[in-house]
Amino acid sequence: MNQIPVSSPRLARSATSDVIVVGAGLAGLFTALKLAPHPVTVVSAARFGEGASSLWAQAGIAAALAEGDSPEAHAADTITAGAGIVDEKIALLLAREARERVEDLLRYGVPFDKDLEGRLTFSREAAHGKSRILHVKGDTAGRAIMHALMAAVRATPSITVLEGLAARDLALSDGRVAGLEVAPTDDATLARLILPASAVVLATGGAGQIYAITTNPREARGEGIAIAARAGAVIADAEFVQFHPTAINIGRDPAPLATEALRGEGATLINSRGERFMRAVHEDAELGPRDVVARAVYREVASGRGAFLDCRSLGDELALHFPTVYAACRSAGIDPAEDPIPVAPAAHYHMGGILTDAQGRSTVDGLWACGEVASTGAHGANRLASNSLLEAVVFGARVANDIAASLLTPLAARAEQESPAVGSGHDERLEQVVRRTMSAEVGVIRDETSLTKALGTILSLEPEAKGDQRLANMLTTAKLIAAAAFARKESRGAHFRSDYPVPDEHLAQRSFLTLNMANEIARVALEAPSRETRVRPRVVAMRGAALNA
């Protein structure tokens, strides 16, 4: 691997290859490794080994490999969790390719937990019918997987990593990708630069940071979605944002996560009066579906009663089996063996994203996407826990295969011009306004009034984001999510509308939105909120391939 810090942007430009992967999380690194020995440039907003959700994954990766389990059973659980809109072919493909991809990870040196006879061990998680989660030393799966892949990338000379460089836009030529516009992540005063490329893979992760409370790292601003949408790409299922019910509420950004497994081990949810409020909400109490628990926690917090995860029954086991959670609590002066942990719902995972087909192709020529930024159809309205790491590697491999095949034919001309644009500085204050607006109006519980208000705020901030492409990208992604949520007049999975609280069978379809459609929805919402603006799912032509074939 060649590692180039952003202090030498010109060197960075000369070092780029035909294929650029944006993002150095699991999806990006896996794609780059699978493309070797073809030269690949990985652009990472953060330093190598930082700023990726993948590093923080606690539970592990789902794979139906245990005796008595099957890919069909895994796919069936995925389809049930997705609340009626999972693409079943994609769910099956995901579950079937888990074995090969786990074998890859083992080859890269991931130390998944094994029993004394050297066989992989599996744990069970909510909504999985079988024990099928591969983990590493309790809650450190993400870090272990990433460290193994980073070592593999370091040992691969065909991969160049440009650190501290953020993608801001795509350069297009005749509607096809010809390059990537980048800028130093933290210095908006430097001139932006176009890195020529004939194939760009967006693997920029989630969009949690457009919300005030999130478990996602600072870099997860949803910029990949905005970049793709501006180039004309179709964005799917944008309204479906999964809120984790138990982020540790200690005023830290991002909020540390108290993994669901704690509730599996017997931790309960109480309010400041000591009442176990989940008992009245769901028959499975704390082990109810993630979205149901998130709404109940939200209501307790909003009512002023507060919500706490009571882990006192776990005693010293917590420090032993959940070292990450224990360390987060201790750093805030909380001893979870003595004190209930304050929690709140936090934006955690985005089911929506750039619409991709089974090869990871977007609807724009030369643009692929994989990992959380993509919407493959595997998650529907609600992601099944631990399926996202699996999706990152399954589709990372598929994207690499597809690009490798397309490299056999000459790729389009690469952009050679340098962008004249100069950043005008980033407005942190406006970024916080966006985040607060999204949490308050497009959060765990939405309705027409709140969504209209959010769209109004987003549109009013857009002129102020001129020259501040990072903020503009956040606003674009926020608008796509709010517009899709406005248009879906029902509740389904993670999308809960208090004015339409039940699912509508006629709307049991994925949503497909372009930026123009989102602008139109926003315009209609602000002019006459009650007018019909249902997003009508459309079949989108995918360059010769049937959608989600």
Ligand X SMILES: Cc1cc2nc3c(=O)[nH]c(=O)nc-3n(C[C@H](O)[C@H](O)[C@H](O)COP(=O)(O)OP(=O)(O)OC[C@H]3O[C@@H](n4cnc5c(N)ncnc54)[C@H](O)[C@@H]3O)c2cc1C
How far apart are CB 267 and ligand X at their closest, in Å?
A: 17
* Backbone phi and psi for residue 165, each to the nearest 5 degrees, phi listed first: -120, 125
- The minimum distance between CB 180 and ligand X, in angstroms, equals 9
Q: And the tokens for 203?
A: 């693997």
The tokens describing 124, both together, are 């069970």
CB of 363 to ligand X, least distance (A): 19
Q: Which segment (45-53, 111-119, 526-534, 541-549) binds ligand X by CB under 6 A?
A: 45-53
Instruction: For residue 416, count CB atoms less than 10 angstroms from its CB and return exposed for 0-12, middle for 13-18, buried for 19 or more.
Output: exposed
Residue 392 binds ligand X (CB under 6 A): yes
Binding mask 425-454 for ligand X (x = CB under 6 A): ------------------------------
Strands 268-270 and 341-350, bridge-based pairing: unpaired
Closer of 24 and 293 to ligand X (Cβ): 24
Contact present, 351 and 380 (Cβ < 8 Å): yes
Q: Using the rule CB under 6 A, is 57 a contact of ligand X?
A: yes
Which one, 20 or 451, has the nearer CB to ligand X? Answer: 20
Task: Quickly list H helices, 265-370.
Answer: 290-303, 317-321, 323-331
SS3 string of 118-173? CCECEECCCCCCCCCEECCCCCCHHHHHHHHHHHHHHCCCCEEEEECEEEEEEEEE
Query: Does the protein bind ligand X through residue 16 (CB under 6 A)?
Result: no
Q: Assess 474 for contact with ligand X (CB under 6 A).
A: no
Among 220, 278, 381, 397, binds ligand X (CB under 6 A): 220
Applying CB under 6 A, among 24, 102, 309, 434 the residue interacting with ligand X is 24
The Cα 18–Cα 81 span in angstroms is 39
Q: Does 513 bind ligand X (CB under 6 A)?
A: no
> Which tokens go with 174?
């005749």
Residue 371 as a binder of ligand X (CB under 6 A): the answer is: yes
Report the residue number, 201 or 517, with the smaller CB distance to ligand X. Answer: 201
Active site members? 290
- What dihedral angle (degrees, nearest 10) is formed by the CA atoms of 202, 206, 209, 211? 130
Q: Which residue from 21, 32, 33, 45 is in contact with ligand X, where contact means CB under 6 A?
A: 45
Q: How many CA atoms lie within 13 A of 107 on its CB side?
A: 9
Q: Which of residues 345-364 bind ligand X (CB under 6 A)?
A: 349
Decide if 201 contacts 41 (C-beta within 8 A).
no
Say whether 227 sits in a helix, a strand or coil: helix
CB of 380 to ligand X, least distance (A): 15
Can residue 160 be called a binding residue for ligand X (CB under 6 A)?
A: no
The least CB distance from residue 201 to ligand X, in Å, is 11
Please identify, using beta-carbon distances, which residue of 51 and 179 lies nearer to ligand X: 51
CB 189 within 8 A of CB 209: no
Which residue number, 438 or 517, has a Cβ lying nearer to ligand X? Answer: 438
Tell me the C-alpha to C-alpha distance, in Å, between residue 478 and each of 50, 243, 457.
24, 16, 10
Q: Could you tell me the two tokens for 539?
A: 């079949």
Is 166 a residue that touches ligand X (CB under 6 A)?
yes
Which pair of tokens denotes residue 108?
A: 């890269």
Give the three-class secondary structure for 242: strand
Residue 169 as a binder of ligand X (CB under 6 A): the answer is no
**Per-residue binding letters, 240-279, with ligand X (x by CB under 6 A):** -----------------x----------------------
Q: How many residues bind ligand X (CB under 6 A)?
A: 44
Residue 423 has which token pair?
Answer: 């950043």
Determine if 28 is a binding residue for ligand X (CB under 6 A). yes
Which CB atom, from 45 or from 172, has the smaller least distance to ligand X?
A: 45
Which parts of 199-218 interact with ligand X (CB under 6 A)?
203-206, 215-216
Burial label for 269, CB within 10 Å (0-12, 13-18, 19+), is buried
Quick one: tokens of 378?
């595997």
In the complex with ligand X, the residue whose CB is nearer, 59 or 334, is 59
Binding site for ligand X (CB under 6 A): 22-28, 43-46, 51-54, 56-61, 141-142, 166-167, 203-206, 215-216, 219-220, 223, 257, 349, 371-373, 386-389, 392
